[in-house]
């Protein structure tokens, strides 16, 4: 029997938005811990898959646009067909639109809410059904990790639909934990701080905002996608079997300031 509670060997993880940034960082960390990866996204995650396979793990690309729930069932089916099972789901795919609240459009509201919250819920639902059935059949515990945000806790500015969606992710994470904890599914979330990715390129390039952000982070630097790896492995592993409905901030101390 394996005595390492963080070992993910034999597990299959779906990671949405796995082609770059946070999604890629988490996919690589899970693979390093032993998981096989279904890399889901609009853009083919060829680089991620190549790096996962270089670690000796299986990896498959599943092309899906999560701006609607149309591909949700197919993602689960394809993962099962190509990799055999679904033990871990990481809901990382997300978009952001910026504008003053007084000028924010309905299109920008709907686009963000559809991807960040609606598709996330229905992917949780589809994976949850699979995981509950597996637990009833053979006692396997499933793990769902939603990617929340600092704006799950704070208001932010100029991103009303993003703030609303990420606040919703926090609430859904707790609700699903309440419903599924006794059914063999652990549902938790990671709230990244300011991570250097494509999504935050505009903030990094804005000298004034970049300085304001850096001045508030106790760690004194922007996070790297790899900084989220340990938290993801923990929440995906048996080490966290009694952790439910928790939102784990990985933020360099931002929220403590």
* Residue 199 predicted with pLDDT over 90: no
> Average pLDDT in the 187-191 region?
99
- Does domain 12-250 fall into CATH 3.40.50.720? yes
- pLDDT of 185: 98
Longest dimension (CA), the chain: 59
Q: What proportion of the chain, given as a percentage, has pLDDT over 90?
A: 95
Structure confidence at residue 203 as a pLDDT band (50, 70, 90)? confident
What is the predicted pLDDT for the residue at 82? 98
CA–CA separation, 97 vs 142, rounded Å?
A: 32
Q: What tokens were used for 175?
A: 């609700």
Handedness of CA 83, 85, 87, 93 (dihedral sign): positive
Residue 157 has pLDDT above 70, yes or no: yes
- Inform me whether the pLDDT recorded for 200 exceeds 90: no
Query: What is the structure's pLDDT at 1?
Result: 54
Handedness of CA 227, 229, 231, 234 (dihedral sign): negative
- The residue ranges of every structural domain in the chain are 12-250
Structure tokens at 66: 């999560």
Q: What is the pLDDT of residue 3?
A: 85
CA distance 215 to 52: 35
pLDDT at residue 177 above 90? yes
Q: What whole-number distance in Å separates Cα of residue 28 and Cα of residue 24? A: 6
162 among known catalytic residues: yes
Catalytic residue among 135, 162, 194, 242: 162
Inter-residue contact 50 to 57 (CB < 8 Å):
no
φ/ψ (deg, to 5) at 135: -65, -40
178 or 1: which carries more pLDDT confidence? 178
Angle subtended at Cα 251 by Cα 247 and Cα 252, rounded to the nearest 5 degrees: 140
pLDDT digits (tens, 9 = 90+) for 34-91: 999 999 999 889 999 999 999 999 999 999 999 999 999 999 999 999 999 999 999 9
DSSP count for the chain of H helices, then E strands: 9, 7
pLDDT of 136 higher than 60? yes
What's the half-sphere exposure (Cβ side, CA atoms, 13 Å) at 150? 18
């Amino acid at each position: 029997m394996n005595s390492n509670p963080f070992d993910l060997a034999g597990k299959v993880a779906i990671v949405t938005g796995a082609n770059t940034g946070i999604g890629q960082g988490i996919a690589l960390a899970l693979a390093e811990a032993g998981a096989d990866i279904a890399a889901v996204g609009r853009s083919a995650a060829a680089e991620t898959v190549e790096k996962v396979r270089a670690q000796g793990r299986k990896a498959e690309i599943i092309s899906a646009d999560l701006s609607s729930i149309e591909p949700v069932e197919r993602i689960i089916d394809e993962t099962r067909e190509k990799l055999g099972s679904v033990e871990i789901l990481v809901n990382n795919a997300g978009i952001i639109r910026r504008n003053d609240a007084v000028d924010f459009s309905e299109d920008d509201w709907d686009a963000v809410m559809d991807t960040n919250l609606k598709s996330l819920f229905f992917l949780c639902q589809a994976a949850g059904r699979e995981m509950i059935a597996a637990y009833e059949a053979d006692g396997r515990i499933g793990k769902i990790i939603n990617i929340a945000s600092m704006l799950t806790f704070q208001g932010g500015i100029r991103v009303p639909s993003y703030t609303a969606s990420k606040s919703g992710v926090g609430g859904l994470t707790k609700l699903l934990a309440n419903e599924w904890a006794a059914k063999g599914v652990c549902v938790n979330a990671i709230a990244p701080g300011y991570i250097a990715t494509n999504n935050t390129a505009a903030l990094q390039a804005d000298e004034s905002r970049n300085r304001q952000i850096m001045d508030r982070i106790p760690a004194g630097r922007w996070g790297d996608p790899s900084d989220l790896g340990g938290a993801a492995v923990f929440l995906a592993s048996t080490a966290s079997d009694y952790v439910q409905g928790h939102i784990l901030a990985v933020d360099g101390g931002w929220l403590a300031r």
